[in-house]
Amino acid sequence: MSEIKKVVLAYSGGLDTSVIIPWLKENFGCEVIAMCADVGQGDELAPIREKALKSGASKVYIEDLKKEFIEGYIWPTLKAGAVYEGKYLLGTSFARPIIAKALVDVALKEGADAVAHGATGKGNDQVRFELTVKALAPHLKIIAPWRLWDIRSREDAIDYAEKHGIPVPVTKKRPYSMDRNIWHLSHEGGDLEDPWNEPKDDVYLVTTTPEKAPDKPTYVEITFEKGVPVAVDGEKLDAVALLERVNALGAANGIGIADIVENRLVGMKSRGVYETPGGTILYYAHRELEYLTLDRATLHFKEQVAIRYAELVYDGMWYSPLREALDAFVESTQQTVSGVVRLKLYKGNIMSAGAKSPYSLYHEGFVTFGRDEVYNQKDAEGFINLFGLPLKIRALMQQKEANKA
């Protein structure tokens, strides 16, 4: 242990990382530098520098990564249409690689021997952090206190924090493990560990519950350019401002609450409740535009790619060759995904209210039920005869065998 003189800790100011600073100093006798990634946590960052220093950090880095996070991690995942197990919009999953990348950058700058994180030995985040470190700086040692120390529960961690005079935002009365960024807020633990328990209304800190949402629908128009959202209601916005705008609209209308018992990478099921108001709107709008602009074969194959892409992101394989290769495919499909989608938001629901694109493959002249001059319905007979030929041949064979009997 003595060979480790300087450690850079991925610091959030939450329960786990707050107790890790004094624990590292006590057990490794090393200098601890705190690195906090600003991925849109909001007010949580205000007291973080002072708190880290009081906990024993020699230095604190606070890196503003919001723009890079959205443009380099969220938008590619959105364009891929990646959703894990049909519900989870990957808010924590794709935040970990950018945080770990910043951790590595600080460690290299400071000449650190190791990096550390507060992910537990039961969760997915340990994999996401460590695979990123291995991909970017394989020489760095990795310290995962939850796999080493005697603390065995969140209650133990709270007791350790109280003993060392470290204030933490978690109490035994509100024991939820939360992760927040500009994309989402997740909740785990406490009474949520029983899948039979409905989440209490006070769980939600971002999104209005559908019951309390306005009685009138809200309409919103999202403009996309090559699969990337660029404007809301005709107003062009940068990535951060756009996501904040759509988040506010979604939260006010009860949009984006997802409750899922998911399959963790480490082999167990866990129950998570997620608030992703803006992301849910953007995924819906993006999909609507793809319905209009992608041909059948591409759309259907892309659905398969989306599942694999989501698994890679969830599993911490952001910096894998396969994800990069899938990105190339996705980017090709997005060249015509430009246009405007109008949506109606009402009490937790999103409804389509119109879509248009200069690259639309929808042709009214071909699909109309009225008289047309472009489609010869007699052509369908030959198509059906050829398309159904394998079925016909199989049926003839079955009849022949039945007659033998």
Binding residues: 10-18, 37, 88, 93, 118, 120, 124-125, 128, 177, 186, 262, 274
- The yes or no reply on domain 180-356 and CATH 3.90.1260.10 is yes
pLDDT of residue 158: 85
Distance of alpha carbon 155 from alpha carbon 138, whole angstroms:
34
- pLDDT tens digits, one per residue of 174-225: 667 889 999 999 999 999 999 999 999 889 999 999 999 999 999 999 999 9
Mutual angle of helices 48-55 and 15-28, in 10-degree steps: 30
pLDDT at 175: 64
Domain 6-66+93-174 -> CATH class: alpha beta
List binding-site positions for L-citrulline.
Answer: 88, 93, 124, 128, 177, 186, 262, 274
- The domain locations on the chain are 6-66+93-174, 180-356, 372-404
- Which of 108, 95, 77 has its CA nearest to residue 37? 95
Q: Is 256 exposed, middle or buried (0-12, 13-18, 19+ CB in 10 A)?
A: buried
More confident site: 41 or 43: 41
| Confidence grade of residue 402 (pLDDT, cut at 50, 70, 90) | very high
Residue of 97, 79, 88 whose CA lies nearest to 39: 97
Mean pLDDT of 65-93: 98
**Least confidently predicted of 71-85, 102-116, 162-176:** 162-176
Binding site residue list for ATP: 10-18, 37, 118
pLDDT, tens digit (0-9, with 9 covering 90-100), for 328-386: 999 999 999 999 999 999 999 999 999 999 999 998 777 767 777 788 889 999 999 99
pLDDT score, position 1: 46
Residue from 273, 272, 285, 189 nearest 243 by CA: 285
Instruction: Identify the band that residue 45 occupies on the pLDDT scale cut at 50, 70 and 90.
Output: confident
Residues forming the active site:
16, 96, 125, 177
User: What is the Cα–Cα distance from 126 to 218, expressed in whole angstroms?
Assistant: 40
**Residue 153 in this model has a pLDDT that exceeds 90:** no
Question: In whole angstroms, what is the distance from residue 243 CA to residue 11 CA?
Answer: 24
Over 60: is that where the pLDDT of 172 sits?
Answer: no
C-alpha distances in angstroms, 232 versus 70, 73, 74? 16, 20, 17
Average pLDDT, the chain: 94
Band (18; pLDDT cuts 50, 70, 90): confident
Would you say the CATH fold of 180-356 matches that of 6-66+93-174?
no
Tokens, residue 267: 């082999």
